[in-house]
Structure 1
Amino acid sequence: MSQLAGRKVIVTGGAGFIGSHLCEALLDVGAEVICLDDLSAGKRGNVAHLEGKSNRPNFRFVELDICDDGPAMDAAFEGVDTVFHNAASKKNICLINPHRDLEVNAGGALNLLKMSMKHGVRKFVQASTGSVYGEPQIFPTTEAHPFEPVSYYGVSKLAGERYVDVFHKLYGLDTTILRYFHVYGPRQESNEFGGVVSIFLRRITQGENPIVFGHGEQVRSFTWVKDLVEANLRAATDPQATGRAYNAASGIRVTINELAKGMLEILDPAGKLEVEHGEPLIGDIMEFDVSNAAIREDLGIEFEADFWGTLKTALADVDAFLGKAEPTGVAA
């Protein structure tokens, strides 16, 4: 990680849930960080504690759309060594505006790759998703699984991956793709476009029943946000990661029913609330059994295995988890 000291880096989506944690970690190892976010999903409050010379002098926030290819983007890329591309149009949004979803997840990635080549960027780390596989047919699912996305989001993120591959193979750009799975942790968005853990948390703390869409036996591989941060840092510095794509997943298997019931046990011990069921979501994948063997072997990452213990500790500060309290910069 010391290799990142002194590097000038861009974190797209840096004011978002995962991006803000990544900005913190990069500053901790001595990088100069440009947090690039258009605030369509990110929150300035997620990084407010990093701004100002009295706090983190090597941090700068730039409000900018990743599809912008004008002078403002050129200025942001001046002298940049490494790009951590975490900005995205989220899965829940793709049904509302699939054209914007494609523009951001595919066109935005292409724009950033072009800027990276133009400005001599040395390393490009792309955040992708397990949704590129579609409904898995091979278990455990490795990186060799066929790509058969079943959602607009999966298609657009796969297109982004393909652009990354092209720039690596045609132009020699040092790239790594990290496929995220069901990330949880403090500052996760809790509105209807957020993650299921935060959505359940918001409803339960407001005295409302958690709503499970469909039968609830969908299996998820919940992954602690700090593990994804470590995966990004290692991908940026380990030569074994060059040109590779990795499943960045814990390997934990928890059903949505188990999650809802478990969170009620933690947050509603009196039993006033109960699990409700709603209509199934379009494109919702039922089964995840993800192999993380490749990233563990190549990059030496050990993922958090105690899902319930970690979750219970994190949920002890509800305001911090929901992003209502100002972040301290200290790992939860």
Structure 2
Amino acid sequence: MSLAGLKCLVTGAGGFLGRTIVCQLLEEGEKLAEVRALDKAFSAETLQHFGDLKSSTLLTIMKGDIRDAAFLREAVQGITIVIHSACVIDTLGLVDKQVLWDINVGGTQQLLEISLLHDVKCFIYTSSLEVTGPNHKGDPMYNGDEYSIYHVTAGFTYAETKREAEKSVLELDGLPLKDGSSFVTCALRSMYIFGEGSPFLLKHVDEGILNHKVFLRISRKEALVNPVYVGNIAWAHIQAAKAMRNPAKVRQIRGQFYYISDDSPHLSYADFNHELGKELGFGVEPKLAMPLTMLYCYALLLEIVSFLLWPFVRYVPVINRQLLTLLNTPFTFSYKKAQRDFGYTPRYSWEEAKQRTGRWIAEVIPSRIAYLKSKEV
């Protein structure tokens, strides 16, 4: 089933994943009637990239806040499919908790309500692996799936907001629409996303440059994870959208969540960074800066200092115990259910994803060196 002739709204379209989803929709062989790209801001580079595609599909740029109901009502007019990837990601506590809840949960719930009022047929939510964990005990998961039993505990505020937003999306599946059909929803739980333009990977590249082209050891070797290439998680959204329009597949996908990974190797976060950059001369530190137990004590000390300083100054530690658990817990998941239910297969092989990411790293190194030097002045 194709998306030909349909109108699709993509939220978070100015971000790392959202802009890739928009590009893939514009590149569809059977053109859509319109793709609406919604975000609070778009970089000049993103807008230039959209323009370079020269697609025959109408692209409408919509700049506005997902908390603005009037703006959302305008955005969903005539839309058939909403792909909701907009959110605020925060693992350090840099963003006020209420802001996280207002955008990640309140914004999602408001978009759902308005979508239902305007007869939107399908709603795909970009969820996160962190909805599942890891939990505060660091219980490992190896090649888990949607049926794996895992003890979920409270974690980052970000993870809590993604869990609540996903619940809101899936609970509304099946609600009646004005034309007699029913609302179809699903959620895609993404692994850590890498690829060209990744702000997290760029941060690690900067740290590596400052460390004489050696990536910092942020995770122990045994803490295996399986990141997903941005082009593949974007492609999963496109394939899910097509399945929602297919009467033979929609019964399987509706109201479901799916883990989306690809065939990237299972490595620790630090070793994965090294795998992406080793051909460019990057190394990786052989071990953690100190034993993991001592790192947890150090993180606890920083959290105590942050708490004591709170009445006078806002100090956000660069590391905390929850982040240490996230980085040092084996946590891998299979994409087999998505493959079975809606035909998800990675669009890019591991080798191609690695090459594309490596080329991007090589391209940005000179500008990052210049930027880092300018900060020293």
Provide the TM-score with structure 1 as the length reference: 0.82
2:270 to 225, 232, 257: 257
Instruction: State the distance in 2 between where 1:155 and 1:77 align.
Output: 27
Instruction: State the distance in 2 between where 1:148 and 1:219 align.
Output: 20
Q: Deviations over 1:91-128 (max 9, x none)?
A: 33655322211111111110110111111101100000
CA contact (8 A) 1:176 1:243 kept: yes
1:289 to 327, 332, 356: 332
Amino acid at match of 2:260: A
Whether 1:35 and 2:37 are equivalent positions in the alignment is yes
Moved more, 14-23 or 204-213: 204-213
In structure 1, the residue matched to 2:10 is 11
Moved more, 120-129 or 291-300: 291-300
Bigger CA radius of gyration: 2
Offset at residue 292 of structure 1 (A)? 1.6
- Fraction of identical pairs, as percent: 21
Unaligned runs of 5+ in 2: 177-181, 244-249, 290-294, 296-318, 368-377
Instruction: State the distance in 2 between where 1:60 and 1:131 align.
Output: 32
In structure 1, the residue matched to 2:308 is none
What aligned pairs does 1:243-282 form with structure 2 within 5 A after superposition? Answer: 243-250=255-262, 252-268=265-281, 274=285, 277=288, 281-282=320-321
What aligned pairs does 1:172-251 form with structure 2 within 5 A after superposition? Answer: 172-189=182-199, 195=200, 197-204=201-208, 207=212, 209-213=214-218, 215=220, 217-238=222-243, 239=250, 240-250=252-262
Q: 1:53 to 1:213 in 2, by over 3 A?
A: closer
In structure 1, the residue matched to 2:179 is none
In structure 2, the residue matched to 1:327 is none
Offset at residue 256 of structure 1 (A)? 2.3
SS at match of 1:61: strand
In structure 1, the residue matched to 2:164 is 159
CA contact (8 A) 1:51 1:57 kept: no
CA contact (8 A) 1:110 1:163 kept: yes
SS at match of 1:317: helix
Moved more, 11-20 or 224-233: 224-233
Amino acid at match of 2:188: L
In structure 2, the residue matched to 1:133 is 132
Q: 1:77 to 1:283 in 2, by over 3 A?
A: same
Amino acid at match of 1:311: K
Whether 1:317 and 2:360 are equivalent positions in the alignment is yes
What aligned pairs does 1:99-114 form with structure 2 within 5 A after superposition? Answer: 99-114=98-113
Instruction: State the distance in 1 between where 2:11 and 2:67 align.
Output: 11
Amino acid at match of 1:50: F
Instruction: State the distance in 1 between where 2:287 and 2:362 align.
Output: 24
Q: 1:221 to 1:54 in 2, by over 3 A?
A: closer
Amino acid at match of 1:212: R
Offset at residue 274 of structure 1 (A)? 5.0
RMSD: 2.9
SS at match of 1:108: helix
In structure 2, the residue matched to 1:46 is 46
Unaligned runs of 5+ in 1: 190-194, 325-332
Corresponding pairs, count? 311
Q: 1:137 to 1:316 in 2, by over 3 A?
A: closer
Q: Deviations over 1:291-328 (max 9, x none)?
A: 22211111222337954663244312337679x8xxxx
Offset at residue 84 of structure 1 (A)? 0.3
In structure 1, the residue matched to 2:84 is 85
Larger helix share, 1 or 2: 2
Moved more, 155-164 or 224-233: 224-233
Q: 1:11 to 1:89 in 2, by over 3 A?
A: same
CA contact (8 A) 2:81 2:122 kept: yes
Q: 1:137 to 1:212 in 2, by over 3 A?
A: closer
Provide the TM-score with structure 2 as the length reference: 0.73
Offset at residue 214 of structure 1 (A)? 5.2
Instruction: State the distance in 2 between where 1:305 and 1:255 align.
Output: 21
Instruction: State the distance in 1 between where 2:51 and 2:82 align.
Output: 20
Amino acid at match of 1:37: D
